[in-house]
């Protein structure tokens, strides 16, 4: 049977110390429940007494019953001169009513004498007395030896004495912390081996990513005897972040043969990463190993040709093992294999002689030379392929539009858009206001189309990006506009390119609406069945 490695999640505490990471008490509760469902062994909820948000979280979580996770409250050793039973911070830990309490203490003599301003002997007493007291309150106690690896470099004997104090006091587990994130994997490995050889208490590892080595250091520690890894989902945390438990689990369980969570839960890894990202309101990182959108994305034609024959030729694991999926992206580097793969993925039938593929590749390369970028805009890509093969005709046509922006002396600005479109044989003229010219144009377009296509009301704009393609022309430069849209089922991306930002925005907006209508057409009696089928020329009003 594989060796069990415990995962200790500190997203709700250490993770929130990262820039732009903010979680309400209710957000923390959602994430805690998700972590429990996934099979994380320990969830650190926060520092009771340090702020009202954490106090509220521990109040809310009292009514929860976790099935796999043990909840931990985090805090420091008791303060000098104040015994544990009189220390408000220690009492706040007990009032949180968690089965686990995690205490951090200084293991670097520099911090004891230079930062806390106490003797190194008194620092050892603080560690010992706090743990003895908490064990006497029937708590599982984890001791985080803060700055351990830096302390070991500076004064190995004293760093080891802090572990001795924790073990003697009855700590259930001692976690060695690379708090500054500056230790190299070889030093992690040799230090961990020395500590393990001297003490019987189980050891854990806590690393930061300041040198980009949090994952490597965590794996080195486990290889040298650590039985617990502390980290955060997606690596959120102070400065450069903490060890990312997503990649830690992927490597430990899939690559190294350790047991972290039940194997049947492993396929939820991508979902967990994206769930926490969504709750934290932080865009997912596409290049995140194992679970990122680009983790199994293939762009080069040679690569795509190979994975069509044997996926393992360019994939280190099957994406399904972690709940991800293979993606083939299309760009000016693409070959026929890319187009054929994407067409099958989209349910588009191509001609069997390869003519369609070659024609589409040629068109994509021409457009990308003008500034388009289809690997980031699969909505526009699908429309391009369907138009090129006669499987989609634009269900409406622009007759004209006008956009005006007015700014008054008080600094207030308003935008209005007037638009005239033709659907079949019918014209529709509509006007709308917006926060800016593009917003006004978007409102006017959807207002006009809603008369003919009520489903348009379901869609909304998620994101809007403008990028200057070549800055040498200054304000006359060509720009690329990328729009993310969504409905209840999916999110899609479309693009437009022009020297005029309004025109580029219009192109992206129209493609966004066309994509939505395409999906509605496919779900109706206009369902596509092959080249030339199902194209709409006059849908009329519905």
11 vs 466, which has greater pLDDT?
A: 11
DSSP letter (8 states) at residue 78:
P
Q: Which of 202-206, 207-211, 426-430 has the lowest mean pLDDT?
A: 426-430
CB 427 within 8 A of CB 421: yes
Strands (E), 137-231: 140-146, 173-178, 203-207, 228-231
Position 282 scores a pLDDT of 85
Topology given in CATH for the domain delimited by 397-522:
Double Stranded RNA Binding Domain (3.30.160)
Q: What mean pLDDT is reported for the chain?
A: 87
**Euclidean distance between CA atoms 124 and 155, whole angstroms:** 14
| Assigned token pair, 290 | 């194992």
Report the CATH architecture of 6-261.
Alpha-Beta Barrel (3.20)
For residues 379 and 511, the answer to whether their CB atoms sit within 8 Å is: yes
pLDDT score recorded for residue 330: 65
Checking if the pLDDT of 458 tops 60, the result is yes
Residue 455 has pLDDT above 60, yes or no: yes
Q: Where do runs of H (alpha helix) occur along 372-476?
A: 378-388, 437-450
pLDDT interval class at 471 (50, 70, 90): low
Least confident residue range of 32-36, 498-502, 537-541: 537-541
Provide the residue count of the chain. Answer: 542
pLDDT at 217: 98
Cα–Cα dist 45/96, whole Å: 10
What's the CATH code, domain 297-388? Answer: 1.10.238
**Residue-wise burial string across 312-328, b where 16 or more C-beta atoms lie within 10 A, e elsewhere:** eeebebebeebbbebbb
From the centroid of its chain, how far is CA 18?
Answer: 14
Split at pLDDT 50, 70, 90, the class of 472 is low
Six-digit token string for 178: 């690379």
Q: Read off the pLDDT of residues 267-286 as tens digits, 9 standing for 90 and up.
A: 999 999 988 988 888 878 88
Q: Check: CB of residue 179 under 8 Å from CB of residue 146.
A: yes
Beta-strand pair 491-498/100-106:
unpaired
- Please give the pLDDT value at position 530: 32
Distance CA 276, CA 8 (A): 16
CB 183 within 8 A of CB 150: yes
Q: How far apart are the first and last CA of the chain?
A: 62
Lowest mean pLDDT among 6-10, 252-256, 345-349, 448-452: 345-349
Q: What would the two tokens of residue 366 be?
A: 């021409």
Compute the CA torsion angle 522, 526, 532, 536 (nearest 10 deg). Answer: -110
Stronger pLDDT, 517 or 290, i.e. the higher one: 290
Q: Which of 180, 151, 177, 174 is nearest to 238 (CA)?
A: 180
CA-based Rg of the chain, rounded to a whole angstrom? Answer: 29
Assign 535 a pLDDT band (cuts: 50, 70, 90).
very low
Q: What percent of the chain clears pLDDT 70, i.e. is strictly above it?
A: 91
Name the strands in the sheet holding 413-423, side by side, starting at the edge strand that comes first in the sequence.
397-407, 413-423, 426-434
Instruction: Determine if residue 212 is left, alpha or beta; phi over 0 gives left, psi from -120 to 50 gives alpha, anything else beta.
Output: left
The pLDDT tens digits of the residues spanning 67-82 come to 999 999 999 999 999 9
pLDDT surpasses 80 at 300? no
pLDDT at 376: 65
C-alpha 134/C-alpha 175 separation (Å) is 17
The pair of structure tokens assigned to 502 is 């309004």
Q: What is the pLDDT of residue 327?
A: 77
Nearest of 317, 312, 215 to residue 266 by alpha carbon: 317
Predicted confidence band of residue 369 (pLDDT cuts 50, 70, 90): confident
Does position 531 have pLDDT exceeding 50, yes or no? no
What's the token pair of residue 119?
């003797």
* pLDDT confidence of residue 352: 61
Task: Give the residue among 134, 228, 140, 113 at the shortest CA–CA distance from 176.
Answer: 228
The Cα–Cα gap between 305 and 347 comes to 19
Instruction: For residue 475, count CB atoms less than 10 angstroms from its CB and return exposed for 0-12, middle for 13-18, buried for 19 or more.
Output: exposed
**Per-residue pLDDT tens for 317-332?**
999 999 998 877 765 5
Q: What is the pLDDT of residues 80-131, one digit of tens each?
A: 999 999 999 999 999 999 999 999 999 999 888 887 888 999 999 999 999 9
**Phi then psi for 374, rounded to 5 degrees?**
-85, -15
- Lowest-confidence segment of 324-328, 360-364, 531-535 by average pLDDT: 531-535
Residue 212 is encoded by which pair of tokens? Answer: 């980009």
Residue-level pLDDT at 541:
34
Q: What order do you get walking across the sheet with 491-498 strand by strand?
A: 460-468, 479-486, 491-498
Q: How far apart are CA 9 and CA 39, in angstroms?
A: 11
DSSP state of 242: B
What residues does 415 pair with on adjacent strands?
405, 434
User: What mean pLDDT comes out for the span 390-396?
Assistant: 85
Q: What is the pLDDT of residue 414?
A: 87
Give 18-44 pLDDT, tens digit per residue: 998 999 999 999 999 999 999 999 999
Mean pLDDT of 481-499: 86
pLDDT band at 334 (very low <50, low <70, confident <90, very high): low
pLDDT greater than 80 at residue 249: yes
Per-domain boundaries in the chain:
6-261, 297-388, 397-522
């Amino acid at each position: 049977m594989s060796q069990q490695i415990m995962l200790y999640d500190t997203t709700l505490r250490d993770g929130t110390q990262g820039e732009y990471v903010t979680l309400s008490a209710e957000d923390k509760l959602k994430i805690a429940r998700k972590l429990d469902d996934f099979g994380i062994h320990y969830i650190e909820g926060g520092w009771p007494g340090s702020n009202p948000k954490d106090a509220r979280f521990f109040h809310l979580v009292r009514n929860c019953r976790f099935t796999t996770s043990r909840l931990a409250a985090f805090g420091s050793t008791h303060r000098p001169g104040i015994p544990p039973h009189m220390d408000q911070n220690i009492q706040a830990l007990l009032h949180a009513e968690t089965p686990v309490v995690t205490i951090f203490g200084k293991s670097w003599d520099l911090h004891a004498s230079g930062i806390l301003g106490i003797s190194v002997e008194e620092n050892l007493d603080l560690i010992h007395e706090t743990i003895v007291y908490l064990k006497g309150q029937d708590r599982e106690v984890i001791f985080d030896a803060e700055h351990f690896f830096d302390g070991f470099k500076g004064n190995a004997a004293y760093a080891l004495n802090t572990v001795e104090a924790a073990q003697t006091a009855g700590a259930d587990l001692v976690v060695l912390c690379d708090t500054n994130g500056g230790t190299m994997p070889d030093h992690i490995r040799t230090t961990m081996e020395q500590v393990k050889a001297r003490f019987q208490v189980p050891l854990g590892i806590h690393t930061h990513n300041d040198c980009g080595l949090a994952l490597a250091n965590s794996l080195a520690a486990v290889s040298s005897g650590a039985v617990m890894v502390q980290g955060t989902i997606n690596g959120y945390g102070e400065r450069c972040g903490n060890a990312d438990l997503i990649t830690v689990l992927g490597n430990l369980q899939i690559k190294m043969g350790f047991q972290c969570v039940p194997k049947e839960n492993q396929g939820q890894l991508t979902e967990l990463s994206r769930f926490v990202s969504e709750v934290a309101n932080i865009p997912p990182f596409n290049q995140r190993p194992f679970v990122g959108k680009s983790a199994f994305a293939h762009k080069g034609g040679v690569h795509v040709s190979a994975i069509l024959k044997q996926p393992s030729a360019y994939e280190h694991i099957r994406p399904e093992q972690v709940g991800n999926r293979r993606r083939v992206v299309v760009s000016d580097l693409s070959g026929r294999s890319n187009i054929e793969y994407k067409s099958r993925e989209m349910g588009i039938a191509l001609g069997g002689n390869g003519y369609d593929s070659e024609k589409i590749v040629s068109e994509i390369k021409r457009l990308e030379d003008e500034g388009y970028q289809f690997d980031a805009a699969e909505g526009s890509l699908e429309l391009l392929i369907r138009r090129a093969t006669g499987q989609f005709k634009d269900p409406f046509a622009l007759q004209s539009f006008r956009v005006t922006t007015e700014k008054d002396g008080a600094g207030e600005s308003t935008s209005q858009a007037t638009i005239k479109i033709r659907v079949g044989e019918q014209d529709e003229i509509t006007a709308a206001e917006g926060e800016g010219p593009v917003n006004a144009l978007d409102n006017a377009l959807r207002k006009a189309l809603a008369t003919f296509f009520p489903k348009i009301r379901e869609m909304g704009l998620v994101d809007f990006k403008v990028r200057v393609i070549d800055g040498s022309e200054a304000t006359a430069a060509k720009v690329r506009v990328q729009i993310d849209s969504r409905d209840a089922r999916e999110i899609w991306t479309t693009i437009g390119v022009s020297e005029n930002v309004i025109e580029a925005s219009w192109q992206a907006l129209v493609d966004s609406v066309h994509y939505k209508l395409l999906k509605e057409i496919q779900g109706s009696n206009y369902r596509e069945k092959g080249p030339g089928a199902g194209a709409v020329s006059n849908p009329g009003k519905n």
